[in-house]
A and B are shown apart, each in its own frame.
Chain A
Amino acid sequence: MTFFNLTGASLGWEHSRRRAYLAGLLPALVVLGAITLLPALFLLAVSLTPLSLVKPGTAFDFSDPLGNYRELLWDGRFHNSVLLQLHLSTVSVALQLAVGLGVALLLNVRSRFFEAIRAAFLIPMVLPPIVVALIWKILYTPDVSPLYRVLDSVGLPVDSLITDPALAIWAIGVAETWQWFPFTMLMVLATLQLIPDDPLEAARIDGANRWQVFRHITLAYLRPALVVCGLFRLIDSFKAFPLIYVLTNGGPGSATEVTNFYGFIEAFNFSYWGYASAIAVIMLLGVFAVSWLVGRLGWNEVHHD
């Protein structure tokens, strides 16, 4: 291509090509900017005001810009929500990784039958989140749930999990694990396909037992995929909403009121828009911190080499 570039005609072509590229790229960037960057700036601005739609005159009141953030420092309900979020995220991501890994290892057999089974295992993950929430609402409501009736009939009556302040968060964690373990399963299965046979064969000939082969070879190959998988699920777990909304609505009390849900309540129930915006800004920062970690770990390198 270099000798083309020397002529005047190809310089003109180069120029018009660049213009054509710009014409293709700009509309998307302009629209994306208008619907993501502008709202983000707007959110930041609102978080610096005490905006509340029920109190007139609070819209452009920048007299105490850091007021909301100062209040967050002393808001016990907010601290509690962050702790709950960490609790829920840790429990559910750890469970998802463990269950997903286990199921993937069990199903890692090449045959038509197992291919069909693997596909069926993906169902929980692709269901609309609201349907997942309804499914678990049915399972967790004592009068409706077949499980409660079975437990009742064998003489082991159990109290409702979602109305027990100590257990509700675990109940949500279990439902979330059910929904998302197929994600880890899918990633692990995809990565297992990339493990060369030679090291496994060599280790076996050298007399390694099953556990040793798994621990030192398979797991070593899987570790990067598991780490990235966990971070992905961690980011998405901050957004979990339908499960909590339908199963517990943040309760009992505030036992399942995670940060996302607390922000939702402050904005849409109490109409404290400025305060809710400050919570959203803090969440954005948290999510970007984890995203940055994903970028540092280089998902592409570990998965596609």
Chain B
Amino acid sequence: MTDVLPIPAKPLRARVDVRSSRRPWPLLKGRRIGLHVAALALLLAVLFPFLWMVQMAFRPADDVLGDALLFRPTLENFASLWQGTFPRSFVNSLLVSTLSTATSLALGVPAAYVLSRWCFRARGRVSLWILATRMAPPIAFTIPFFLAYRWVGLQDTVIGLALIYMTFNISIVIWFMQTFFAAIPKALEEAAWIDGCGVWQAFWRVTLPLAAPGLAATAVFCFIFSWNDFFFALILTRTNAITAPVAITNFLQYEGWEWGKIAAGGTLVMLPVLVFTLLVRKYLVRGLTAGGLK
């Protein structure tokens, strides 16, 4: 990294390592510092609303709305959440998200593999249908599901909620895993076939282990999308299977405006998501456009 690229037009600026920046104009030192400061200031301004809620969660109950930056942080708000029905909703969220992720992977991964390997005539139409389910507004699914669940008694159950989450999770799995399988050379499976493996044996022993990082990322995305859902859970659950995001809004409506609890609940709900997102940051672009790719 010590060699300097010659810049014919402006030799004086050649001292700055041009490759550290993709800008057409290499930055001078003063400007570089300015840029760092500007970026940091912008970041703080953008994250201010978020940071404010987090600090509210740690304020003592009698000073939740205070704005003195120096205060003694306390876990009071979290403790009072622990005593209510909130832990149960948290467990429900975990159950629903895990259940829905597991079943969507079990169904979607083999299907994604087949779609990446087998060019049959209706393939384009199947893909289009899966894309359409990703785009459809949730209310279009909620109305029929709500009416059907009243009929079969799946209202306010973890299984019922996990089932409706599969409407988006299966299509995410299929779209996302297809791109990973497509990147794995077919020759490897063909070698396994010649050695006497069946199609699914070769898939299980050769292809799937190679796609493991993609599988992990897909699982994380399914989990996050299920965990983040608010609309379906609001409509399809009441008390029994209520999830954490819906449970927080109860603090807004029935028990008055308990800002400390709201902030603490919000902080708890976003915690797993932030941790998981850090793990799959590399795949974020692909994950968020799943369904738009190919």
Contact = CB atoms under 8 A, between A and B. Distances in A.
A binds B: yes
Interface of A: 13, 16-18, 20-25, 27-29, 31-32, 35-40, 42-43, 46, 103, 106-111, 113-114, 117, 119-131, 134-139, 143-144, 146, 149, 178, 183, 186-187, 190, 192-193, 195, 197, 200-201, 203-205, 210, 213, 228, 232, 235, 238-239, 241-242, 245-246, 260, 263-264, 267-268, 273, 276-277, 279-281, 283-284, 287-288, 290-291, 294-295, 299-300, 304
28 contacts: A20-B199, A27-B110, A28-B108, A28-B174, A32-B167, A35-B141, A40-B140, A46-B143, A107-B39, A109-B23, A110-B22, A117-B43, A119-B281, A126-B273, A127-B50, A127-B274, A128-B227, A130-B245, A130-B248, A134-B266, A138-B49, A139-B52, A193-B22, A238-B137, A242-B231, A246-B249, A294-B292, A295-B131
Contacts of A120: 43, 47
B40 A139 contact: no
A187 B292 CA distance: 13
Contacts of B128: 295
Given A127-B50, A128-B227, A122 B263 contact: no
A235 B50 contact: no
Contact of A239 (B38, B138, B166): B138
A128 B167 contact: no
A109 B20 contact: yes
Interface residues of B, number: 98
A291 B135 contact: yes
Contacts, number: 263
Interface stretch (B74-82, B83-91, B114-122): B114-122
A154 B252 CA distance: 30
B123 to A, nearest CB: 10
**A contacts with B: majority SS:** helix
Interface of B: 8-9, 19-25, 27, 35-36, 38-40, 42-43, 46-47, 49-50, 52-53, 56, 65, 67, 107-108, 110-111, 113-115, 117-118, 126, 128-133, 135-148, 163-164, 166-167, 170-171, 174, 193, 198-200, 203, 224, 227-228, 230-231, 234-235, 245-246, 248-249, 252, 259, 262-263, 266, 269-270, 273-274, 277-278, 281, 284-285, 288-289, 292-294
